[in-house]
């Protein structure tokens, strides 16, 4: 199950709570979360500082989802556009070849106030692409919006033989503030249709639906019915559509569409052999998509847009089910002795001297949120065909201990390719004897911040 969110946040600071946005109280938790934001605050100071630290929006989603067993697998930011991809830990070793890129289209492509950011990855062997766009505004620019979208589709490329362009992916999700408006109908008619919940009377004049009849590329994308109120434009901190002097007509600017790659037409392409291979793979490893929910969330009022949620079920046959590497801690771990990690490649993969194994606290937020790491080649102590050992110095291990996991990161594949079972790192006996550990409260260590916890 995939839970998607698109939201133009109009430079607002994040809300305190995203429970209803992510359906955290739902009995079934999704496998993947994809969040696409537009107009994330890019005031110069904040924009520069976000390069060094996670921006407040990313921080909010990471701190909310990490305790529930999700890690941020990839993210990309271009000015106000932000795309975040989260996965349950169990799927992480099977998400490979992760790449992210962007295309500027605003102000002659110069400063990136409009455009698209995307994340490309292989999920159990199936190539997926998530494209978050913010397209040109205003009623009269419908054809410019389509031109911008087609430009992004044509120019974004990935270093990947199987899917070098967006259209080559098995499944593409296109979402964001696409800025399409409701044409022709007057304000009074539009508002009365919304009040009466007769949204279907407005569909025929929705510019994206209209443009679909003319544009081949748009026809390949599917969208669920717009059975929810238009998500733009609201007065801030209210559910009231624009009451300013401009009185902008409500519109479904915020959308989520998807495209399953059309069956390869062998005769149309010169490279017939590759097309045949693709057809055979498509048949042997089917992938189906079903949309279970498409709606807006009216309770968030910090922006002039309401967020839109799409929930999808992906039915797929996995191309592989074994991680590339198995790894585990050897013996008891504590800060009193150097520790050994045992790992064994389960299948051939392009290993590199830049590969590393990280020690993580259970509930970590992303691949960079490690306590410590060790380079795979540099710290090898013994080697035979099956099992390889590397060590981590006791100075690097947290004196307080805690529940941890080990992750093997492949620099060539740009992803984690093996995760250990959780294991306990014991408190340092030396630190306890020397009185270096702070007092305990109700049997728990008193901690000020997570850094405190690990040092």
Q: Is residue 389 part of a domain?
A: yes
228 φ/ψ sector (left φ>0, alpha ψ -120 to 50, else beta): beta
CA distance 232 to 239: 10
Q: Is residue 443 part of a domain?
A: no
Q: Is residue 439 part of a domain?
A: no
Whether 256 shows a pLDDT value over 70: the answer reads: yes
Of the pLDDT bands very low, low, confident and very high (cuts 50, 70, 90), residue 351 is: confident
Of the pLDDT bands very low, low, confident and very high (cuts 50, 70, 90), residue 263 is: confident
Check residue 386 and give its pLDDT.
73
| pLDDT tens-digit readout, 271-287 | 777 778 888 888 899 99
Q: Which of 21-25, 246-250, 281-285 has the highest mean pLDDT?
A: 21-25
CA distance 62 to 82: 14
Residue 372 and residue 295 in one domain: no
Check residue 111 and give its pLDDT.
56
Residue 175 and residue 48 in one domain: yes
Residue 309 and residue 329 in one domain: no
Per the structure, how many domains does the chain have?
2
Least reliable range by pLDDT among 115-129, 153-167, 421-435: 421-435
| pLDDT tens-digit readout, 352-363 | 889 999 999 999
What predicted TM-score, i.e. pTM, was given to this entire model?
0.89
Of the pLDDT bands very low, low, confident and very high (cuts 50, 70, 90), residue 44 is: low
Give me the phi and psi of 240, to 5 degrees please: -95, 130
Residue 27 and residue 145 in one domain: yes
Q: Which of 151-165, 298-312, 380-394 has the highest mean pLDDT?
A: 298-312
Whether 436 shows a pLDDT value over 80: the answer reads: no
Check residue 417 and give its pLDDT.
95
Q: What's the average model confidence in pLDDT over 440-450?
A: 34
Check residue 112 and give its pLDDT.
57
Of the pLDDT bands very low, low, confident and very high (cuts 50, 70, 90), residue 53 is: low
Q: Is residue 171 part of a domain?
A: yes
Tokens representing 193? 């249709």
Residue 106 and residue 187 in one domain: yes
Q: Are 418 and 409 in contact (CB under 8 A)?
A: no
Residue 424 and residue 304 in one domain: no
Residues 6+ apart with CB under 8 A from 239: 298, 301
Residue 307 and residue 416 in one domain: no
Q: What is the DSSP string of 239-273?
A: S-B--STT-PPPB--EEEEEEEPPPP-GGG-S-HH
Check residue 409 and give its pLDDT.
95
Q: Is residue 407 part of a domain?
A: yes
372-375 and 356-361: which strand pairing? antiparallel
Q: Of 287, 316, 345, which residue sits at a domain end? A: 316
DSSP H or E run through 73: strand 70-78
Q: Is residue 288 part of a domain?
A: yes
Q: What's the average model confidence in pLDDT over 181-203?
A: 96
**What's 427's domain CATH number?**
2.60.40.2840
Least reliable range by pLDDT among 42-56, 101-115, 296-310, 423-437: 42-56
Q: Of 316, 335, 357, which residue sits at a domain end? A: 316
Residue 27 and residue 151 in one domain: yes
Residue 175 and residue 279 in one domain: yes
Coil/strand/helix, residue 8: strand
Domain extent at residue 52: 2-316
Check residue 110 and give its pLDDT.
56
Q: Of 293, 316, 339, which residue sits at a domain end? A: 316
Residue 424 and residue 404 in one domain: yes
CA distance 183 to 139: 7
Q: What is the DSSP string of 90-144?
A: GGGGGEEEEEEEEEE-HHHHTS-SSEEEEEEEEETTEEEEEEEEE---SGGGHHH
Check residue 239 and give its pLDDT.
92
| pLDDT tens-digit readout, 333-345 | 998 999 999 999 8
Residue 51 and residue 169 in one domain: yes
Coil/strand/helix, residue 192: helix
Least reliable range by pLDDT among 53-67, 82-96, 97-111, 306-320: 97-111
Q: Is residue 84 part of a domain?
A: yes
**What's 184's domain CATH number?**
3.60.10.10
CA distance 2 to 99: 19
Residue 300 and residue 376 in one domain: no
Q: Is residue 450 part of a domain?
A: no
Least reliable range by pLDDT among 101-110, 228-237, 316-325, 413-422: 101-110
Give the position of tokens 């998807």.
258
């Amino acid at each position: 199950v995939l839970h998607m969110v698109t939201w133009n946040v109009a430079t607002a600071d994040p809300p305190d709570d995203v429970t209803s946005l992510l359906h955290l109280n739902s009995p079934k938790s999704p496998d993947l979360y994809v969040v696409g934001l537009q107009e994330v605050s890019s005031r110069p100071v904040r924009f520069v500082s976000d390069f060094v630290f996670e921006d407040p929006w990313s921080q909010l989603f990471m701190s909310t989802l990490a305790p529930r067993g999700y890690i941020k697998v990839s993210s990309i930011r271009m000015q106000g556009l932000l795309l975040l991809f989260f996965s349950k830990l169990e799927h992480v070793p099977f998400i490979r070849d992760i790449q992210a890129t962007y295309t500027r289209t605003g102000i002659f492509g110069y400063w990136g106030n409009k455009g698209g950011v995307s994340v490309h990855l292989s999920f159990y062997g199936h190539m997926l692409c998530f494209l978050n766009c913010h397209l040109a505004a205003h009623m009269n620019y419908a054809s410019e919006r389509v031109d911008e979208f087609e430009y992004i589709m044509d120019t974004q490329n990935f270093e990947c033989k199987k899917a070098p362009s967006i259209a080559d992916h098995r499944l593409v999700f296109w979402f964001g503030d696409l800025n399409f408006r409701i044409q022709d109908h007057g304000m009074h008619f539009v508002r009365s249709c919304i009040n009466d919940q007769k949204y279907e009377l407005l569909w025929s004049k929705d510019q994206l639906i209209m443009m679909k009849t003319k544009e081949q590329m748009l026809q390949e994308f599917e969208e669920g019915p717009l059975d929810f109120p238009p998500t733009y434009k609201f007065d801030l901190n209210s559910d009231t559509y624009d009451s300013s002097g401009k009185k902008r007509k409500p519109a479904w600017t915020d959308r989520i569409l998807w495209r399953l790659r059309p069956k390869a037409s062998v005769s149309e392409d010169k490279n017939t052999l590759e097309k045949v291979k693709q057809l055979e793979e498509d048949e042997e490893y089917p992938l189906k998509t079903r949309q279970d929910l498409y709606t807006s969330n009216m309770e968030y009022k910090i922006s002039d847009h309401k967020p839109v949620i799409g929930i999808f079920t992906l039915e797929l046959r996995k191309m592989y089910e074994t991680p590339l590497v198995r790894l585990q801690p050897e013996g008891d771990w504590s800060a009193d002795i150097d520790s050994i990690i045992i790992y064994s490649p389960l299948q051939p993969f392009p290993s590199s001297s830049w590969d590393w194994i990280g020690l993580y606290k259970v509930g970590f937020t992303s691949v960079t949120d490690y306590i410590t790491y060790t380079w795979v080649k540099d710290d090898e102590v013994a080697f035979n065909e099956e099992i390889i050992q590397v060590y981590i110095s006791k100075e690097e291990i947290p004196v307080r201990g805690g529940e941890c996991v080990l992750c093997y990161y492949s620099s060539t594949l740009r992803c984690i390719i093996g995760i250990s079972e959780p294991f306990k790192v014991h408190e340092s006996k030396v630190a306890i004897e020397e009185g270096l550990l702070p007092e305990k409260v109700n049997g728990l260590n008193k901690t000020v911040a997570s850094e405190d916890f690990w040092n």
